[in-house]
Structure 1
Amino acid sequence: MKRLRLKLAYDGTDFCGWQLQPGVRTVQGELEKAISRITGTPVRVHGSGRTDSGVHALDQNAHVDIPDNRSEVPWLRALNAILPEDVAVTEACYAADSFHSRYGALEKTYTYTLWLNRQFVIPQRRRYVWPCGDVDLERMDRAAEYFLGEHDFAAFQNTGTPVSDTVRTVLEFSRRQGATPYECVYSIRGTGFLKQMVRNMIGCLVEIGRGKAEPHFVRSILEGKDRKKAPATAPPQGLYLFAVAYGEGDCGSDQAGRDQSGKNGRE
């Protein structure tokens, strides 16, 4: 068996999240179905993390063990030829047997896009933004600073995934201009995240941006560790898994997307 590492991008709108679930459409399910079609045997794909229903990804990472007799398959080209249009493989390579897409991840970066105009949302962006309306971005920026560093994020975790502890470290929480003049994008980078933690942080910032709380409200919520006292969760469509960072050498030198002409399948 050889360990194949994949990078994926997908539009999460019509998926019930990443994780395989019976009777519903998931990214993991579509990927496993496509790979099994090529290998002729059942496979199990492991992702760097689970994205919820409606959440998008630009750099989801995954790995799967494939039979040696399929090692010459041009995986990038082959998978993109049969995967549905709302998911794509952007990189494929062979990795060391010790590589693990989830446990080997050192950092993850999520982005969240807000739509700041109350009067309309252009159709091309509706599936990818939260139309939160007018907010005070400077107040939100001040509030975001309270999230930086190591904290117990129990108040920003939704139920559903048991964890041994709720302490996490946020390394960056920054804002930039979005794809249109009506958008802003928050970028959140950390060593790990709890279930719907990013969406809960954004929901809190929007409450502050609407003038319903002061920026230091974030500190009191963190210290209180009570999810019931925190604002509502932001909707999923504005959230993107933007990047996953690993240590050097995690991806092997053998490309797994090379066609007969020597190209890697990216045109």
Structure 2
Amino acid sequence: MQRIKLTLAYDGTNFCGWQLQPRLRTVQGVLEKAIARVTKTPVRVHGSGRTDSGVHALGQVAHFDVDESFVAVKWQRALNSLLPDDVTVLEAISVSPDFHCRYSAIRKTYTYTLWLENSFFLPWRRHYVWKCGPLDLVALDQGMEYFLGEHDFSSFQNTGTLIKTTVRTIHEFKRYPGQTEQEMVLEVCGSGFLKQMVRNMVGCLVRIGRGKAQPETVRSLLQMKDRTLAPATAPAQGLCMAGVYYGETGCGGTDTGRKQAQDSGINTEV
């Protein structure tokens, strides 16, 4: 069997998340359907992470196994000719059978885009940003610093997934300008993320930026390990899986998927 690694970008607006679900449109579902049209047989696709309904991706990684008779297939071209307009293959390469898109990953990067203006809103950005209004960026920066390092993130995990440990390491947490003057992007890179952990961290930071909590609240919540005490989860549409790393140095945006997306003119700040 031949293992194929895919790097994917998709607009999550009209998907019910990544994971296959009966009678619902999912990224895994449309991808498996496209592959089956090439192989003429069902093929199971594995993803590096399960993005929720409405969440986007610029560097989602997946893999699947096919018979060696398909080794000559140009998978990127073949799948992009069959996939719907809201998902595309940025890269398709053959990898070792030992590679696993989820278990071989050592770091992941997510971005979250905020709309900071109250007086108006660009309608075509509604699926890609959280209209949260003006924020105290000094306080927000201070709050981000408390997330750095290794912590138990129980307070920032929503229920629904069985895991061995809630300890994760955040390597980088930064912000930079978005597509428009009214937008700001938060980018976080870590060893891994719990269910809706990034959205919960952003929800907490926005509350701090609005002056409804102090930056030190992050430290307190990490110590208390109680999700019920933390602020509400940020909306899905501002979140984007930006990259998955399998040994590359650094965190922020150096992976092949992001580079190819930038070279192709794909927006890297959704």
- Aligned partner of 1:167 in structure 2 is 167
Tell me, yes or no, if structure 1 residue 132 matches structure 2 residue 129. Answer: no
Residue deviations 1:134-180 (CA, integer Å, cap 9, x gap): 11111101011000000000000000111111111000000111110
* Cα distance in 1 between the residues matched to 2:20 and 2:121: 32
Residue type of the partner of 2:180?
T
* Cα distance in 2 between the residues matched to 1:213 and 1:183: 22
- Aligned partner of 1:221 in structure 2 is 221
Residue type of the partner of 2:83?
L
Tell me, yes or no, if structure 1 residue 25 matches structure 2 residue 25. Answer: yes
- Aligned partner of 2:260 in structure 1 is none
* Cα distance in 2 between the residues matched to 1:74 and 1:173: 37
- Aligned partner of 2:205 in structure 1 is 205
Query: 1:79: Cα distance to partner?
Result: 0.4
Query: 1:210: Cα distance to partner?
Result: 0.6
* Cα distance in 2 between the residues matched to 1:18 and 1:61: 11
Query: 1:223: Cα distance to partner?
Result: 0.6
- Aligned partner of 1:55 in structure 2 is 55
- Aligned partner of 2:245 in structure 1 is 245
* Cα distance in 2 between the residues matched to 1:120 and 1:103: 44
SS, match of residue 158 in structure 1: coil
Residue type of the partner of 1:215?
P
- Aligned partner of 1:253 in structure 2 is none
TM-score by length of 1: 0.92
Residue type of the partner of 2:22?
P
Residue type of the partner of 1:157?
Q
Query: 1:116: Cα distance to partner?
Result: 0.3
SS, match of residue 128 in structure 1: coil
SS, match of residue 35 in structure 2: helix
* Cα distance in 1 between the residues matched to 2:213 and 2:204: 9
Query: 1:247: Cα distance to partner?
Result: 2.5
Larger radius of gyration: 1
Query: 1:121: Cα distance to partner?
Result: 1.7
SS, match of residue 29 in structure 1: helix
Residue deviations 1:10-53 (CA, integer Å, cap 9, x gap): 00000010011111000000000000110011100011111011
Residue deviations 1:183-221 (CA, integer Å, cap 9, x gap): 000110000100000000000000011110111011111
SS, match of residue 139 in structure 2: helix
Query: How many residues matched?
Result: 250
- Aligned partner of 2:153 in structure 1 is 153
Residue deviations 1:195-252 (CA, integer Å, cap 9, x gap): 000000000000011110111011111111110110000000000000111126xxxx
- Aligned partner of 1:102 in structure 2 is 102
Query: 1:72: Cα distance to partner?
Result: 1.2
Residue deviations 1:244-267 (CA, integer Å, cap 9, x gap): 11126xxxxxxxxxxxxxxxxx89
- Aligned partner of 2:40 in structure 1 is 40
Residue type of the partner of 1:146?
Y
Residue type of the partner of 2:115?
W
Residue type of the partner of 2:176?
R
- Aligned partner of 1:78 in structure 2 is 78
In structure 2, stretches of 5+ residues that fail to align are 249-263, 266-270
Query: 1:123: Cα distance to partner?
Result: 2.1
Query: 1:118: Cα distance to partner?
Result: 1.4
Query: 1:71: Cα distance to partner?
Result: 1.5
Residue type of the partner of 1:15?
F
Structure 1 stretches of at least 4 aligned residues deviating more than 4 Å after TM superposition: none
* Cα distance in 2 between the residues matched to 1:101 and 1:149: 24
TM-score by length of 2: 0.91
